[in-house]
Structure 1
Amino acid sequence: MKQMLQVFVQVVERGNFSRAAEHLYMTQPAVSQYVKMLEEDVGATLLERANRTVHMTKAGEIVYQHAKQIIGHVETMHELVHDLFHEPSGELAIGASYTYGEYILPHIISKMREQYPAIHPAITIGNTKEIAERVHTMDLDIGIVEGEVHHRDLEVETIAEDCMVIVVGCHHPLAHQSSVTTEDLWNTTWIIREEGSGTRETTERLFQTLQIHPPQTMEFGSTQLIKESVEAGLGVTLLSQWTIRKELSMGTLKRVNVPSGEIHRSFSLLLREKPMHTKATEIFRELLEKVIPPSTY
């Protein structure tokens, strides 16, 4: 059964039988046979074939979601048994949203590699929505995100607080005003993150707090690109203090101080709810608090 499910998942994710066969080092007829056997086992057609591509049927979508979970549980089972007799080792799939992943996670990974060299982290960076979904489907062992996550199959634990501040480039008009009003913020260009981002969610919360609805916005999918754009004078933005420490110290970015212009949010740990997690996952979980305690934020 596991082999059938693995083959089926590869066909779905790679879009056709030939690419799945190449990835699995199997012949295409063998891949087709495994999918046929699975369809016979569940009693339904799982894939529709057209123009050398495949699309899941409704039954296929159900089987795909459960197949991912079954494969993940089997892999976890083997890892847990291995943990009983060996030092923590193997791959640990970690997902993080951009702020945490690019500016905080490297410190934790460095410490883990120093203490547990046999654990090999594989890092995925994405927005909060993407990371939560991949933890849910067990593509990732663990996730760290900003923003709110509500999912009945995920364990969500607040691990730290983050402070978000409004910043502009050093040559922006607002950088030289002794006082900045909400009207000033309404009438300037805002550079914001994309939908699904925790930073975007926090920015919209700030707009509600300040009771503004800026008509001029630019949407970028990268914190680094936003920083560069703000430094170049394109607009104003809301960013985590973690992401702008160097720029603030160098003076290329300036804080804009307005009433209620500082906003706090939480970094959350995401785990798929299951009876046990691997030793590598638990070790990483412990290091999160030891390396950078919540008070640091």
Structure 2
Amino acid sequence: MISKLDLYKVFCEVAKCESFSKGAKALYMTQPAVSQAIMQLEGELEVRLFTRTSRGVILTNEGKLLFEYANSAINLINVGEEKLLESKNIMLGELKIGVGDAISRYFLLQYLDKFHSEYPNIKLKIVNRTTLELCDMLKSGKIDIAICNFPIEDTSLEIKKCMDVQDIFVCGDKYKNTLSMPLSFEELSKLPLILLDTKSNSRQYVEKYILSKGIEIVSEIELGSHDLLLEFAKINLGIACVVKEFSREYLNNGVLYEVKIVEEVPKRSIGFCFLKSVPPSPATKKFVEILES
């Protein structure tokens, strides 16, 4: 009889393919064998996992719940096997890094350069996502380490701070003179604001703090990139909320101007995190050593 782990592998493959026949092909099994495996798993769990349609199969609500955990577990097993092979030789392997868009440009590049110089045979895979998405990818084994915006509240992750950053508001020439005096949060909220999209951890941090003062800020323009915030503010489309440390070139060259606020948003941090429950691979350990140095 097929093992329980193999049953879950068959289940996940069929779920991803949305087809018994395509799942069978991907697993190099016959379709009857795949059908039998799904029937066995449904029998053991006493629940129906798939709804049959004319085009294939779709997960039931119970199936969706099971898939979320089973697929993550199988991914972690696969990652474990990869890390075991990598541990035999630190000079080979792959390091999968998840990072925020601005952090990759203004913080990560220098460390990637040093790591690649020391370990040129280790393949680097860089994934750009929001902080929330990166945490989910860590827990499903899709990346080894995430460099992202803090704060993060997740007890399953080992979290280490690298540097503090300051969120500020900037404007172009059009607003320079009219915004020469420090603004209150209420005055700021009435301006045309350019913010990152609502999934951004940094935006949520700023919004939450200003809301704690009784003021709600609303974006007139939402963007998915820190660099676009700078460029949109540069052509006077509004007042952008940016990270001061990542905007120095624009500020030093007089392309953008910092809008003074009566009360600054408290500094926050950026740093890296990885799963507590999974020992980091040798490549990850070496990269962490470079980050901490």
Aligned-partner residue type, residue 266 of structure 1: S
Aligned to 2:198, which of 190, 195, 199?
195
Question: What's the counterpart of residue 225 of structure 2?
Answer: 222
The yes-or-no answer on 1:90 pairing with 2:55 is no
- 2:254 alignment partner in structure 1: 251
CA contact (8 A) 2:116 2:122 kept: yes
Q: Deviations over 1:11-66 (max 9, x none)?
A: 434544566567x3757837656545544565543222334254323442343233
Structure 2 Cα separation of the partners of residues 148 and 158 of structure 1: 10
**TM-score, with structure 1 as normaliser:** 0.82
Task: Please show how residues 105-184 of structure 1 align to structure 2 within 5 Å.
Answer: 105-169=108-172, 171-174=173-176, 177-182=179-184, 183-184=186-187
**Residues 198, 62 of structure 1: alpha-carbon distance in 2 compared, 3 angstrom cutoff:** same
- In the alignment, the residues of structure 1 paired with residue 278 and residue 224 of structure 2 have an alpha-carbon distance, to the nearest angstrom, of 36
Residue 127 of structure 2 aligns to a residue whose secondary structure is strand
Partner of 1:81, secondary structure, is helix
- Structure 1 position 7, deviation (Å): 4.3
Partner of 1:104: helix, strand, or coil?
helix
Shift of 1:257: 1.8
Cα distance in 2 for partners of 1:231, 1:34 equals: 60
User: What's the offset of the Cα at 1:151?
Assistant: 2.6
Whether contact under 8 Å (2:102, 2:227) holds in the other structure is: no
Cα-to-partner distance string for 1:252-279 (whole Å, 9 max, x where unaligned): 2111122223531112422222252211
Structure-1 separation of matches of 2:35 and 2:134: 32
Cα deviation per residue 1:221-252 (whole Å; 9 max; x = unaligned)?
A: 22232222111111112211243122223322
Contact 1:193–1:222 under 8 Å retained in 2: yes
What count of residue pairs does the alignment treat as equivalent? 288
1:74 and 2:80 are equivalent in the alignment: no
Residues of 1 paired with 2:177 and 2:205: CA distance? 22
RMSD: 3.0
Aligned counterpart for 2:237 among listed residues 234, 237, 248: 234
Aligned in 2, Cα 1:215/1:199: closer, same or farther, shift over 3 Å? closer
SS of equivalent residue, structure 2 residue 116 = helix
- Quick one: distance in 2 between partners of 1:88 and 1:274? 24
Equivalent residues of 1:65, 1:137 under 8 A apart:
no
Separation in structure 2 between the aligned mates of residue 34 and residue 212 of structure 1, nearest angstrom? 57
Q: Percent identity at matched positions?
A: 24
Flag the 1:37–1:218 CA change in 2: closer, same or farther, 3 A: same
1-side partners of 2:23 and 2:236: how far apart? 48
Report 1:46-57 matches (<5 A). Answer: 46-52=49-55, 54-57=57-60
Q: Which amino acid counterpart does residue 196 of structure 1 have in structure 2? A: K
CA contact (8 A) 1:141 1:271 kept: yes
Tell me, what secondary structure is at the counterpart of 1:179? Answer: coil
2:272 matches 1:269: yes
Distance 2:46 2:289 in 1: 45
**1:144/1:267 contact within 8 Å kept:** yes
1:84 positional shift: 4.6
Unaligned runs of 5+ in 2: none
Provide structure 1 residue ranges, at least 5 long, that are not aligned to the other structure: 291-297
Partner residue in 2 for 1:185: 188
Cross-structure match for 1:12: 15
Is the partner of 1:172 in helix, strand or coil?
helix
1:64 counterpart (63, 67, 81): 67
Distance 1:271 1:53 in 2: 37
| Residue pair 2:76, 2:140 contacting (<8 A) in 1 also | no
Question: Aligned in 2, Cα 1:121/1:219: closer, same or farther, shift over 3 Å?
Answer: same
1:127 and 1:207, CA in 2 relative to 1: closer, same or farther beyond 3 A? same
Deviation, structure 1 residue 104: 1.8
